[in-house]
Amino acid sequence: MNRKEQPLLNVSDHFYPVADVNDGKKRDQWWWLLLGVVALIAFLSITQPDPYWRIILFIKDGIGVTIISTVTSFVLMLMIGLLVALSRLSKFRLIRFPATLFVEIVRGIPLLVQLIFWYFAFPSVLQNAGKALNIDALANYHAQPLMMAIIGLTFCYAAYMSEIYRAGIQSISIGQMEAANSLGMNRSQAMRHIILPQAIRVILPPIGNEFISLLKDSSLISVVAVADMTRRGREFMSANFIPVQTWSLIALIYLVMTLFSARVVAAIEAKSRSGR
């Protein structure tokens, strides 16, 4: 099967190519691109320390905030996404309907709007509720920018992640569940020991894509007072009026992080295939 005929895993609004066992060697070659980008950043920083090294020193704390917000949101979205996916597959309507409603609503609202809601509107809702219920802790609540940003990213991406989980689970033959039941396992045990381990292997590529998308979309948290790499870059540009150098370097740093993430995901996929 050539690459043009490569099967696709359809998950909500996204199409993800199913991993091909022959892609491993080709993917390893992309480490050279990562090394090339790192070498370019190092070259610019050494040959032109002003402004490139000065930019790096200025935004280094923002790089840490970007990594923390991305990794934290990713871990939380994996857990919430799995919970929502299992709820959507439940036989009970009272469990299935709220999960489906959550997915449909969250997927229909842009991420930027959700981030603004969590930072500006949600605290106001809590404060009004606190005043109405005479609860001082809620009435005097003030939003913590990074926490609100992580919540916004988590809930948005958990909706998409739940669809990836659901597609992966449903791709496993029904005979697997029947075989597990014949061995005396209940539905929960079969899902934990038989279905989910196989589904995870299927959905590794889209999970990796979601992490990369989350990393890039984390730049949106700069609009809600989070001092991430993008916001720090904007501050540096405003103070020094050198937009080309500033945003070129920030783009290269984002590229390093996304390329490294993609290589890690590819390595995990290869290890997963070899362990089958």
Backbone φ/ψ region at 76: left (φ over 0), alpha (ψ -120 to 50), beta: alpha
Report pLDDT for 5: 47
**Can you name the residues that pair with 11 across neighbouring β-strands?**
14
Residue 235: the pLDDT is 94
Q: Which of 264, 226, 222, 224 is nearest to 247 (CA)?
A: 222
- 182 membership: H or E segment, kind and range: helix 174-182
Cα 200-203-207 angle, rounded to 5 deg: 105
Give dist(CA 247, CA 115) in Å, integer. 23
| Amino acid 199: pLDDT | 86
Distance CA 258, CA 34 (A): 9
Instruction: Specify the pLDDT at position 274.
Output: 65
pLDDT of residue 158: 96
- The whole-number pLDDT of residue 275 equals 57
Could you list the mean pLDDT of each consecutive 10-residue stretch along the chain, which spans 276 residues? 47 48 57 93 94 94 96 96 93 92 95 95 92 88 92 96 92 81 80 84 88 94 93 93 94 95 85 66
Q: What is the pLDDT of residue 19?
A: 45
pTM value is 0.84
Q: Which CATH superfamily is domain 40-274 in?
A: MetI-like (1.10.3720.10)
Three-class secondary structure of residue 144 per DSSP:
coil
Domain residue spans in the chain? Answer: 40-274
Looking at residue 178, what is its pLDDT? 77
Name the burial class of residue 248, with classes exposed (0-12), middle (13-18) and buried (19+) by CB atoms within 10 angstroms of its CB.
middle
